[in-house]
Amino acid sequence: MTIAPALIDTIDAAIDARREEIVAFAAELIRQPSVNPDLGPSPGAEGPAQRWLADQLTGWGTFDRVDTWTEDGAGLRPNVVATRPGSGGGRSLVWAAHTDVVPVSAEQAAAWSGAGPFSGEVLDGKLWGRGASDMKGAIAAQVMAARVLDDAGVRLRGDLTLVQTCGEESGRRDLGCNAVLRRGYRADLAIFPEPTNFAVYPAIKGEVYFRLVVPGKSTHIANRHLVAQALPHGVERPGVSAVDNMLKYHLATLDLERDWLLWRSHPHVPPGGMFVNLNTIHAGPPPAPIPDTAVPDRCEATGSALFYPDVPATEAIAEIRAAYERVTAGDAWLRAHPPTLDIPFGHPLKEPVNLLFDHPGVEAISTAMVSLGEADPARGVAPFVCDANYWSAEGQPSIVFGPGDPSWGIHGTDEHLPVADLLRAVKVFAAVTMEWCGVEDRGTDQPGTRAESNV
């Protein structure tokens, strides 16, 4: 079905009337501190941005209720949920975003163009600053979409809920997204406006982190030849290099990755989309001004694996574990001194999301965009993971769809969002909301009427 042209014109007029306000709102939200404290120094955590946001949403009168609470004990990391009940008979919708952002490193700050990484500067038709694409621009779009619907007098049939959580960038589902579910906020569909550049992702890869600790036996560096070479019968080896042992497991990791490359594929993911990355490796004692010269007796690696949406997490974990167990079984010393593998480790397991590409939510987004004269959006598998992985595992149907692009400085230098895309997102989000929730029939002489049916 197509949204009535008269209603689209009304929404356009409401956006035009608030154009400067929409941009100013997004810029001010970028200026409000919300660096995730799990990732870097952040005295107020997400609190300043969340409290400012809650004040704005409360003051507008657009929402029946604005709910703010914390789960962290110290009250520093709020979640903010705004609700607007429908008139009845429609489908409910949640727009679910996160307000926390990653830190800006000293190197990134030094290389940042313009007024700085938290300036919210508008320059050359773009909004600049940490969070512009990931994802304060999307928050501005989702809340302003609700506001322009209110301006236009649109009465939704289904309930509308806007969620802004803490902790997403560090996987703190306990404080953020899953706390929202525990508080009772669910819907027929949740849309996560992560930076997809308006592509629709009904499927998301799974992700698991792990830690591998490989033992060795320490000895003086002068004994290296007695560690790495053959010894006469009866001579006890004085040491075993944990680094040498770790190399065997790293090679096994590369072999597993190649096995996946050759024998695993997905119809909607480019080749090579299932892989393992070793993120950190450290051997021996902690770094010191003068490095230790002993053969290391311990080597620790942390890694992460991304796997296709149709691969159960248990299967990916089992294959990683089996690859490392083969190394242990094939080495006489390691059989007697096996490594430890913690999997999952560090972050909660992110199960894959595997909604159908013709799910009603996907079709609603497509219909809404076509109604606006836009091209039918591309449908694919998200190249990143997010809170949608956690919600999907809890039975909440979830789709990823939003403005911004991973190539626009996200988690790096010069993060930005074109102002045109911000305004486009407001219009698209309003249309998607109407298409999914349905709109009350206001009579044939008023904008938004659809004589044949409701949106």
- pLDDT, averaged per 10 consecutive residues of the chain (455 residues), comes to 87 97 98 97 97 97 97 95 97 98 97 96 98 98 98 97 97 96 98 98 97 96 91 92 97 97 94 94 82 89 96 96 98 97 92 96 97 96 96 97 97 98 98 96 47 33
Which among 167, 180, 144, 179 has a CA at the least distance from the CA of 63? 144
> Looking at the structure, do residues 89 and 197 belong to the same domain, yes or no?
yes
Catalytic residue among 100, 194, 415, 435: 100
pLDDT the model gives residue 338 = 98
> Looking at the structure, do residues 143 and 116 belong to the same domain, yes or no?
yes
pLDDT the model gives residue 449 = 35
Give a yes or no: residue 428 inside a domain: yes
User: Contact at 8 Å (CB) between 390 and 344?
Assistant: no
Catalytic residue among 169, 207, 351, 415: 169
Residues in the chain, total: 455
Number of domains in the chain: 2
Q: Which of 342, 376, 393 is the last residue of a domain?
A: 342
Residue 375 lies in domain: 5-204+352-437
Beta strands in 101-142 (DSSP E): 122-123, 126-128
> Looking at the structure, do residues 410 and 421 belong to the same domain, yes or no?
yes
> Looking at the structure, do residues 154 and 41 belong to the same domain, yes or no?
yes
441 annotated active-site: no
CA–CA dist 332, 154 (Å, integer): 72
> Looking at the structure, do residues 176 and 256 belong to the same domain, yes or no?
no
> Looking at the structure, do residues 285 and 173 belong to the same domain, yes or no?
no
User: Contact at 8 Å (CB) between 436 and 364?
Assistant: yes
100 annotated active-site: yes
CA–CA dist 258, 244 (Å, integer): 22
> Looking at the structure, do residues 46 and 188 belong to the same domain, yes or no?
yes
Give a yes or no: residue 319 inside a domain: yes
pLDDT the model gives residue 292 = 73
CA–CA dist 239, 251 (Å, integer): 22
pLDDT the model gives residue 285 = 82
